[in-house]
Structure 1
Amino acid sequence: MALATDSPWRTIASAALLGTERQPFQLPNISGNLGHYLSQSSDRPNEAALLSAVGVVSLHQHVGWLPEVRSMAQGESCSAEDLPRCSPRAARYLQQILEGQFQHLLSEWLENAAIAGQRVPEMLLPSLLDKGRQQRELRASVLPVLGQRGRWLAAQNSDWNYAVALTTEADWETGKPSARLLYLQGLRSHNPEHARELLQSTWKQETASDRAKFLEAFRIGLSLTDEPFLEDGLGDRSKEVRRVAVDLLASLPDSRLCQQVTEHVCRCLILEQNKDLSLQVQLPEQLDNTLIQLGIEPKLTAAVNAKVGEKAWWLLQMIGATPLNNWTERWQLCPEEIVKLIQSHDWQMVLLNGFALAAKRQTNKVWLEAIFKLYFTDQVSISDAALIEISVEDLFKTLAPDRRDALLIDLFQVFHRKINDSLTIWLLRSSAKLWSFDLARLVLDGLEEHLDHTKTSSNSDWELRSALQEFARFIPVSLTSEVVRLRESLANDSHWINSMNDLIALLAFRKEMVQAFGLGDGG
C-alpha cells in the first residue's frame, strides 16, 4: 500500500477504517520531529502502533493550528449625543421599572423624558430596547429618548431593528420592516400623498403581513386621494389586506364603497311615521356579488357574537359601512333620537353595533356619545357587543381624552353610577391619559362614599380593589394628599388597607419620578 506522505492523518485514518487484521498498519514515512516520535511506535503491536500514531498526529495538528486571519471592516462609530442624559435619580426610577417594579409606568417615564428633552442612560439601553422588542405599543415612545448611542446600539442587534430609523428614502427598500413602518407612519403625518407613492413603488414585492401593516398606517392622514390605492387592496390575495382596505374605505363617507353600500342598506331599514315612529328592518335575502366585491364578508367569522345570524351579520356590516349623515338626513332625526328608536328593538344588537362600527370608523363623537349614554342607562348590556372590535372599551378609546373625561363625569353626575359599578370600573380602566382634576375628584369622592358605606367584602369590592392600581396611573399626583387622607380614615382591620397602601405607594413613586425630570408635580 502506497502511503501518502504529504497527508499522514489521511493515511492513519484509512488504515483505521480498513482494520489492522485485514492489513498490517505501516507508519507514515515522515521526516522531522513528527517522524521521530512516530518511529518510536514501530516495535509495538499493530493496534497499539495505530492508536499511538493517532494521538501523536492529532496533537501535532492541534499544536500547529493558527486561527484564520480576516480583514474586518471597521464599523461606524456612534455620533455625538444630541440630547442630555437624564438625571441619576430619573435613571434609578427607570431601572426599578425595567426590573419589574411598577412596570405599567414605563410609558409615563418615557413620556416625561421626551417632554424634558432627555435621553436614557447608556447602561439601561439594552433592557429598554428589549422592552420595545417585546411590546410594540411602546416603540413610538422609546425612539425619541434613545439618543444617538441607543440608535447606534440598535443597529448592532437585529432584535432591535425597530429602533434603526430610516434616515433617507434611499433606505426604504433595504430597511427592516419595523423601521420602514415607523418611517411610513411619520411620512403619512406630514406628507400622506408622498407616503402613498413610496409604498406603491414597492407594493408588489412586499409580503402579505407587511402589506397589511403598511396599509394600517394610512389611518394617519386618510383622505379620498387614497381611495384608488385602497380599492386595489379590495382585490388583494391576502384576506387581512382586504379587511384593512375595507375598514379604511368605510372610514371615508364619500368613498365609492360607502355610496354603493348605502344604496343597498336603505332598502333594509325603513322609518315608518304613523302615530309613533318605528323602524322596520328587512334582512337581506341574499348577498349581492357587488357587496362581496366591496368587502362584505358572506360568512360569519370567529370574531362575531354567536347570537348574530348570517343575514344579520350582512346587515350589520352594511350599516357599519354607511355614512352616518345618511340616516340623520334621510330620517330628519338626530343621533340621540335614532339611538333611542332602537332601544328594545327586536334587532337592537345588530342595529346598535352597526351604528357603533360606523361611528368608530368615522370617528363621529356625537354618535359615539349617544351610544354610550344608552349603555349608561342600563338599557343595553356591556356584554352584547356583536364584534370584538366594537367592545365598550374599544369604542371608548376612539374618543379624545377630554371627551372621555366629560362622559365619565356624566356617568357620575347625570346617571348617578357608583364607583363599584362594573361599567364604571371598565371605563375608568380604559383611560389612556391623566384624568382631569374634576374627574379625579369625583372618583375619589365615589371611593370615599363607598368606603364609608361598605363594612363587608363583596365581589364588586374585589373588582374595585384590583382596579385601584390602574386608577393610580391616571390620578394627578398633586391629589396624593387626598388619597392619604382616605387611607387614614380607614380602620386598621379594614380589608381595603393593603389596596389603599399600594395606591399611595404608586402615586408617591409617580410623583417622585415626575419631579426627577424637573417637571414639578405633573398635575
Structure 2
Amino acid sequence: MNRATSGGDTAIPEGTWEELVTTALLGTDRRAPAHVPPGRTAPAALLDAAAVATVRRRAGLRPGRAARRPERAPADPRPPLPAPAARRLTTLLADRSGGAGGGRRGSAPDLIELLPQWLAAANAHGYAAPPQSLPALLDAARGRTDLRPAALAFAGPRALWLARLNPDWRFALRAAPGGGAALPDTEDAEGVRRLWQEGLFAERAALLGALRARTPARGRELLASTWGTERAEDRLMFLDSLRTGLSDADEPFLEQALGDRSRNVRATAADLLSALPGSALAARMAVRATACVALDRTGDAPAIVVEAPLECDADMERDGVVATPPAGRGERSWWLGQLVESAPLGTWPRRLGGRTPEEIVALPVTDGWQGELHAAWCRAAVRQRDAAWSRALLGSPSAPEAGGPGAVSLAERAKLLAALEPGERAAWVAGFIATHGLSEAFQLLGVCAVPWAPPLGRAVVDALDIAREAGSYPWSFSGVMGLAERCLDPAEATRLETLLAVPDEPEDAAPGAGGYWAEAFQRLVTTLRLRAEMTRELVPPAGPREEGAQPPDAAG
C-alpha cells in the first residue's frame, strides 16, 4: 500500500516510522510533519500518517516459519494429591511475603516458611504435583535455592519438560543429573561406555554418580579407564564422586591418585583415604601423629606432651599435608593439626595408656597445645563420624561455654552433634539451653531432628517463657521463634495456650513487651495448629493404614 486518502482525495505523505515517532515525541509545534495536506492540522496529519504506516507495516509482514510442536509432557505415575492438600499448596504458593525479617512480625503465620516442610511431607507420601501448580512451584524454587531439591522432586519429570520451554526455569535443568539428559541404564554396558567416551562433562558426572550409587566398583573402574587422559579440573570433580559408596576397595585407586600432578587432586585423594581408618595412608598418618603426641608420667599427674613436626617432607606432602599454612598460623602447629586429624581415632587409646576418649580429653596438655590438639581431634571425629569421640569432646552440656573438655566453639559442637543419634543429640542441646539459655543455641538447634523431641521442645519453650518474664522484647529471639514454628511438635500447641495472655509487666520491663510476646506466642500456636492440619490433609482419604500408625509430621 503506497497511498491512502483522508478527507477526500488528499494524499497522506509517506515517512519512516522512526521519523513519525520523533515528531510525536518532540511535538508538532516544535517539529511539523514533513507534509501537511490542505485543511488538516499538523497533529491530525501526524496521526493519519501514523495510521497509514501502521497498516503498511502490518501488511508487509511475512509469515514466520511454523515452529515444531513441543512433544507431549511426560506422564507422572505417582498418585495425585488429596483435594484439601492441593488447595493448601495453592495457598502456600500464593504467599510471597517470606516473613517480615526482624522486628515485629504480627500474629499471622509465615506461610512461605511452611512450604519446605509441606514439600518434604508430600514427597514422603510419594504424591505427584498438580499440573496447574507447576508454574507457581517453579517460580518459588527459582527465587529460593533452598526450595529447589524438594520442589523439583515434587514437580517430577514435567518440571524438566517445562524448563526446556521457559528460560526462567532453566535452573531445573542445571540441577538435574546430566543437565536433564536421559542416562543409559546402568546395565547397558555399551550405552554406558559410549556416554562416558562421548558425553558432555555434566552427563559423564551424572553417569558416574549413578554407577557409584548402585555398583561402586563399576563406577571406579569406569573412571580408572580414562583417568590418565582427563583434565585436572575434571579429575578433581570425578574423584569427589567416589565419596558415594566409599570403601576399602577404592584404596588402590586413591593411592595412585596421591601421585597426581594436581595438588587439589592429591588433597582430595588424601581426604578420602583418611576417611578409611584401615587404609595405608591412615596408618602412615598414625605413625607420624603418635611420634608427636605422647603421655608424660614424670609429673605429679599424667599429662599429654606434644612435639610438633620440625618439617613437612615430600612424603607428607604426597599424603595430603599442605606445607604452607594460612596467614597467622605457625607452620609446626599447622602440620601437627593435619597429622592428628588424619590419623584414625582408634590410635589414641593404644598410644595413651588404654584410656577412653573421655579420659583422654580430660588429660592436661602441656605447653599450650591443648586447643590445637583438641581442635584436630574434633575434625577427626566429624570426618570419621565417631560417636564416642564426639561425645567426649562435647562434654557435659552444663559445662561453662568455653570450658568443656574439648574447649570447642559452638560451630564445632554443632558438627560433633551430627555424629550422635537424634535422641542423644536433642537431649544434649536441651541440657545446653537449660544452662546457657537461647542466645547461643541457634546453631545447635539447626542440627536437631525435626520435629524436636519432647525434652528439647520443652527446653525451648521454657527458655522463651523465661525471656518473656524478664521483660525484654521478643525480637531478640525471632530466629529461635521462627525455628520453633517450623520444628516444634504440633502437640505442644495445647501446652503453649497458657502463654497467650498478656502478662503483668515488671517495672523494669520494656514498654509493651508483654503484648508483643503474647502476639509472638499466638503466631507460634497458630502455626503449630496449621502444621497439624497440613499433616492431616496429606493423608489419603481412603488409603489403608495400619492401626495406630501415624502420618509423618509436615515439618519433617
Tell me the TM-score normalised to structure 1 length: 0.74
Shift in Å, 1:333: 0.8
**Which stretch shifts more, 197-206 or 344-353?**
197-206
Higher relative CO (Cα under 8 Å, sequence separation at least 6) belongs to 2
| 1:353 counterpart = 2:375 | yes
Structure-2 residue corresponding to 1:496: 517
Shift in Å, 1:446: 3.7
Shift in Å, 1:147: 3.2
Deviations 1:43-70 (A, max 9, x none): xxxxxxxxxxxxxxxx999966645647
Q: Given that residues 123 and 153 in structure 2 are in contact (C-alpha distance below 8 angstroms), is that contact kept between their aligned partners in structure 1?
A: yes
Q: What CA distance in whole angstroms lies between the structure 1 residues aligned with 2:343 and 2:445? A: 30
| 1:259 counterpart = 2:283 | yes
What one-letter code is carried by the residue in structure 1 that aligns with 2:309?
A: P
What one-letter code is carried by the residue in structure 1 that aligns with 2:395?
A: K
Q: Given that residues 357 and 388 in structure 2 are in contact (C-alpha distance below 8 angstroms), is that contact kept between their aligned partners in structure 1?
A: yes
Q: What CA distance in whole angstroms lies between the structure 1 residues aligned with 2:396 and 2:324? A: 29
Give the alignment partner of residue 428 of structure 1, picking from 430, 436, 445: 445
Deviations 1:464-493 (A, max 9, x none): 343111122221112212223223364584
Structure-1 residue corresponding to 2:81: 86
Alignment of 1:241-260 (within 5 A): 241-260=265-284
Q: What CA distance in whole angstroms lies between the structure 1 residues aligned with 2:260 and 2:412? A: 28
Q: What CA distance in whole angstroms lies between the structure 2 residues aligned with 1:181 and 1:385? A: 41
| 1:469 counterpart = 2:482 | yes
Q: What CA distance in whole angstroms lies between the structure 1 residues aligned with 2:234 and 2:529? A: 43
Alignment of 1:155-166 (within 5 A): 155-156=164-165, 158-161=170-173, 162-163=175-176, 164=180, 166=182
| 3-state secondary structure, aligned to 1:496 | helix
Q: Given that residues 107 and 141 in structure 1 are in contact (C-alpha distance below 8 angstroms), is that contact kept between their aligned partners in structure 2?
A: yes
Q: What CA distance in whole angstroms lies between the structure 2 residues aligned with 1:310 and 1:357? A: 18
Give the alignment partner of residue 480 of structure 1, picking from 493, 502, 506: 493
Give the alignment partner of residue 168 of structure 1, picking from 165, 184, 188: 184
Q: Given that residues 477 and 522 in structure 1 are in contact (C-alpha distance below 8 angstroms), is that contact kept between their aligned partners in structure 2?
A: no
Give the alignment partner of residue 253 of structure 2, picking from 229, 250, 257: 229
Q: What CA distance in whole angstroms lies between the structure 1 residues aligned with 2:244 and 2:339? A: 24
Pairs aligned (count): 450
Structure-2 residue corresponding to 1:120: 129
| 1:218 counterpart = 2:242 | yes
Q: What CA distance in whole angstroms lies between the structure 1 residues aligned with 2:143 and 2:237? A: 17
Shift in Å, 1:177: 6.0
Deviations 1:254-307 (A, max 9, x none): 1122111111111111111243111111111111211111111112237xxx5x
Alignment of 1:175-186 (within 5 A): 184-186=208-210
Deviations 1:165-192 (A, max 9, x none): 6442547547776676566545434322
| 1:271 counterpart = 2:295 | yes
CA change 1:375–1:356 in 2 (3 A) is: farther
Structure-2 residue corresponding to 1:150: 159
Shift in Å, 1:233: 3.9
Structure-1 residue corresponding to 2:23: none
Structure-1 residue corresponding to 2:415: 394
CA change 1:105–1:188 in 2 (3 A) is: farther
| 1:312 counterpart = 2:333 | yes
What one-letter code is carried by the residue in structure 2 that aligns with 1:280?
A: V
| 3-state secondary structure, aligned to 1:324 | coil
Structure-1 residue corresponding to 2:454: 437
What one-letter code is carried by the residue in structure 2 that aligns with 1:378?
A: P
CA change 1:490–1:237 in 2 (3 A) is: farther
Structure 1, unaligned runs of 5 or more: 1-58
Structure-2 residue corresponding to 1:323: 344
Structure-2 residue corresponding to 1:301: 326
**Which stretch shifts more, 61-70 or 140-149?**
61-70
Structure 2, unaligned runs of 5 or more: 1-54, 99-109, 186-190, 506-511, 541-549
Shift in Å, 1:377: 1.5
| 1:111 counterpart = 2:106 | no
| 3-state secondary structure, aligned to 1:267 | helix
Q: What CA distance in whole angstroms lies between the structure 1 residues aligned with 2:143 and 2:220? A: 29
Shift in Å, 1:385: 9.0
Tell me the TM-score normalised to structure 2 length: 0.70
| 3-state secondary structure, aligned to 1:128 | helix
Identity of aligned residues (%): 30
Q: What CA distance in whole angstroms lies between the structure 2 residues aligned with 1:404 and 1:503? A: 24
Alignment of 1:202-213 (within 5 A): 211-213=235-237
Q: Given that residues 73 and 158 in structure 2 are in contact (C-alpha distance below 8 angstroms), is that contact kept between their aligned partners in structure 1?
A: yes
Q: What CA distance in whole angstroms lies between the structure 2 residues aligned with 1:339 and 1:89? A: 55
| 1:286 counterpart = 2:311 | yes
Q: What CA distance in whole angstroms lies between the structure 1 residues aligned with 2:203 and 2:504? A: 54
Shift in Å, 1:335: 0.5
Q: What CA distance in whole angstroms lies between the structure 1 residues aligned with 2:317 and 2:307? A: 19
| 3-state secondary structure, aligned to 1:357 | helix
What one-letter code is carried by the residue in structure 2 that aligns with 1:79?
A: P
